[in-house]
Each structure stands twice: as structure tokens, then as C-alpha cells.
Amino acid sequence: MTAAASSETRNGLDRLKDLKRLSFVDVILWALRIGVLIVVVGGSIGTLIKGRYSMEQWFDFFMFGLTIGGIYALIALGYTMVYGILRLINFAHGDITMTGAFSAYFLARGLDRSGFLDANPVISMILIMGLAMIICSAIALAVERICYRPFRHVATLAPLICAIGASFFLQHSFRGMYGSSIRAYPDPEWMKGQVNFLSFEVPLYQFVVIGISLAAMLFLYLVVQRTKMGTAMRAVSEDRDAASMMGIDVNKVILFTFILGGCMAGIGGVLYCMVYKQIYFYMGFLPGVKAFSAAVLGGIGNIPGAMLGGLFLGVVESIGPALFLDGIGIAAPYQLRDLIAFTMLVMVLIFRPQGILGERLATKRA
């Protein structure tokens, strides 16, 4: 009994020491965790008790979440690949998406006026996305050449500042050329139909967007995992100097990475316009920030993580307002969907900075 009592006393003293070590910041972080948990659990219980939403509405929320999540994932792949190679964030990537969407808009409008868009939907989509991919890849290469290559071996914030400058340059260039008004994206007749899926009616465009997103992500994954250039990308991501000594052309790999990211951004920009049916010079900022959040959520530098993070963010952003906020009496919960996305980013950065599938970086690489 004496030994057991002594052991309990030591454990109690250790717990007291741990409590004394708690700083004010630790207390704030624990309060934040508890607050978010209360809102999520309490709001979900309240919403389900109210029974305001039918099963069909929940399914609609889920499908729209997968739709927009696939777009976030495509854009997030550009962030995560550039970070994996250069350990830098390309903050111009969202506006690169906008440039592809704008170029595709003018082609889509021309095809729509001629009737070709409705008469040949598959060929039209290939042409539209092909143009967006080419434009985005060209802009991405220009950003790499101007903002990143001159500072590749310099440990400063210059690349980050240049990328932000490139973002503003693209935004205001397109504002100056095409004005600040919002333009309506063509809405062909073949995309207005409904599809019966699991006894629910789902808009056809959602299946198109989800299918194209998954196909593009699968293609990218196979390129990275099954090709020589993909192997070189993974080698440069692990150690750029060692890869160079093994005969890998690092410059070529970096250019290829920016091209791949630009292609994904081009596809994402077109799909984003297909969902929201509008285009304007500032349209790349918000999806770009959310895609960055998705990349961090999945694990920045991890390609499957970016895919998973984008889909997860899209679903939570779509379901979250109704599930978490409606139950606690928020009058217009869907107006706060962006708040949910950025709250997730903050929570991940605080409590799991490596993301869902990310790994802790070594000190010399962090």
C-alpha cells in the first residue's frame, strides 16, 4: 500500500507540474478547440433535431460539395507540386486559373453563338479546356521565369513577394483589358438536364465536373507515379542537389512541374465557370485561397493529400453551414460557408501543420 500510495503521489505531482507548464497560449488553444467542438457537435445535434432538411437536400449538399471540392483539388495540385519542388508557395496560382477561365470564356462564347457548343459538346469541351490549359501553362512558365528562377538559390522572401506582385499584375491587367463587370459564362442546353442517381435527381453538370476532375487527378497521379519525369519530380522533391548530381535536369523538372500545375489550373478554371456561370477579373482569388487551404489540409507537398483535402473541404463547405450553424440559430448559415473553410485552415495550421497525409519535415527542410 505504501508503494502504491507513493506512486500515486508522484503521478499527482507530475500532473501538477504539467499544469504549471501550461502557458497562456496553451490555454487559448485549448479554449479554441473546445469552442469549435461545441459549435460543431451542438449545431449538428440542433440541426438534426429540427429536421428542417430532407434526405434529398442532404444528398444535394453532398453532391455539390464533391463538385466544388474537385475544382479545389485541381487548383490545389498546382500549389502542392510547386511547394514539393521549390519549397515555396506560388500565390499567383489562383489568378493563373483566372487567365485560363477568361481565355476559355471567349472561345466558349464564340462556339455558343455559332451553335457548335450544343451540336458537338465533347469536341467543344476538349477545345475549351485545351485552350485554357495552354494559356495557364504559358502564364505559369512566365511566373516561374520572372518570380522564381532568379531567386532559386537565394534564401529570401523575394520569390513570395514577386508571386504576390504577379497576382496583382494579372488581376489588374485583365481588369484594364476587359473591365470590372461580371460576364455570364455560356450555359449550353445539354448541361441543363437531370440524372437519376440512387433515386435522387442530380444536375448533369455536377456529374460532368466530378468526372472531369477525377479523370484529371488520376492522369496527374499516373504521370507522377508511373513516368520517368514523374520519378525525376519525386527525386527533386526529396533532394534537389542530390538529384542534380545523379544527372537529373532540375530546370527541366521545375518547368514540367509548372506546366502540370498550369494544366490543372486551366481545367479547374473552366469547371469553376461551369458551376457558377460567371467570370470576372477577381474570380481567381477566392478559389485560389481555398485551394491553398485544401493543399495545407491534405498535407502541402503531398499530391494525394491535395486531392483528398480539396474534396474534403468542398464537402464540409457545402454541408457545414446547414449542419453546424443552422442548429445554433444562425439566420443565414450559407453566407458563412467561407468562414468554415478558413476556420478549417486555421485549425489545421495550429493543431496539425503537416496536414492529413503530410509528414513532418526534417529540420533542414522545414
DSSP character string of 232-290: HHHHHHH-HHHHHHTT--HHHHHHHHHHHHHHHHHHHHHHHHHHH-EE-TTTTHHHHHH
> Which DSSP letter does residue 96 get?
H
- Beta-carbon contacts of 143 under 8 Å, excluding residues fewer than 6 positions away, are 90, 92, 96, 163, 166, 258
Predicted local confidence at residue 99, as pLDDT:
93
Write down the residue that cell numbers 502504491 correspond to: 4
Predicted local confidence at residue 191, as pLDDT:
84
- Beta-carbon contacts of 230 under 8 Å, excluding residues fewer than 6 positions away, are 223, 224
Q: Which residues partner with 194 through β-bridges?
A: 203
pTM confidence score = 0.87
CA dist 280 and 178 (Å) reads 9
Predicted local confidence at residue 363, as pLDDT:
40
Assign a CATH topology to domain 53-316.
ABC transporter involved in vitamin B12 uptake, BtuC (1.10.3470)
Q: What are the domain boundaries of the chain?
A: 53-316
Predicted local confidence at residue 53, as pLDDT:
85
Going 273 to 277 to 282 to 285, the CA torsion angle's sign is negative
Nearest to 297 by CA among 43, 79, 145: 79
Nearest to 159 by CA among 214, 83, 218: 83
Predicted local confidence at residue 169, as pLDDT:
93
Predicted local confidence at residue 366, as pLDDT:
41
Predicted local confidence at residue 7, as pLDDT:
57
Predicted local confidence at residue 37, as pLDDT:
82
pLDDT mean for each 10 residues of the chain (366 residues): 54 53 72 82 85 87 93 93 86 92 91 89 92 95 89 78 91 91 88 83 89 92 91 88 87 93 94 91 90 87 88 90 81 80 78 71 41
